[in-house]
Amino acid sequence: MMEYKGYLAGKIDVDVESGVLSGVVAGLQDVVHFEGRTAEDLVTAFRESVDDYLAMCAERGEAPDKPYNGKILVRTDPEMHRKAVQRAEAEGVSLSKWIERQIEAA
């Protein structure tokens, strides 16, 4: 996984015919694409794309990150729900806090 200045690269695609690796920066309001012919080129392009995006946002006076409200709706089967509640109670935390810890640990 590529990370730079707190930004992550999304899924990387390979175009076998053209020999180009490409991806997008994940979690942004805009689509920020990057590409390269080698892994090293791809990393450089990713970092340059993040820098360019941040500069563009600064010029516009806009916040670069997509606004998130902190709410995640998770649908699961009742048995999984029961197990999660039991684990949260056993650890003395709310279900939301327990799920947050699981995500953080991932």
Mean pLDDT of 15-31: 92
pLDDT value at residue 69: 77
pLDDT value at residue 12: 94
pLDDT value at residue 58: 94
Please give the full DSSP string across 17-33, using - where no structure is assigned.
TTTEEEEEBTTBSS--E
End-to-end CA distance of the chain: 13
Delimit the domains of the chain by residue range: 3-60, 69-106
Spatial distance between the Cα atoms of 47 and 50, rounded to a whole number of angstroms: 5
The answer to whether the beta carbons of residues 20 and 35 sit under 8 Å apart is yes
Residue 30 predicted with pLDDT over 90: no
**Residue whose tokens read 């279900």:** 95
Task: Please give the sequence-ordered ranges of beta strands (E in DSSP) within the chain, or none if there are none.
Answer: 3-4, 7-8, 13-15, 20-24, 33-36
Kindly tell me the burial class for residue 25, based on how many C-beta atoms sit within 10 Å of its own C-beta (0-12, 13-18, 19 or more). Answer: buried
pLDDT value at residue 57: 92
pLDDT value at residue 67: 64
pLDDT tens digits, one per residue of 40-91:
999 999 999 999 999 999 999 988 887 677 888 889 999 999 999 999 999 9
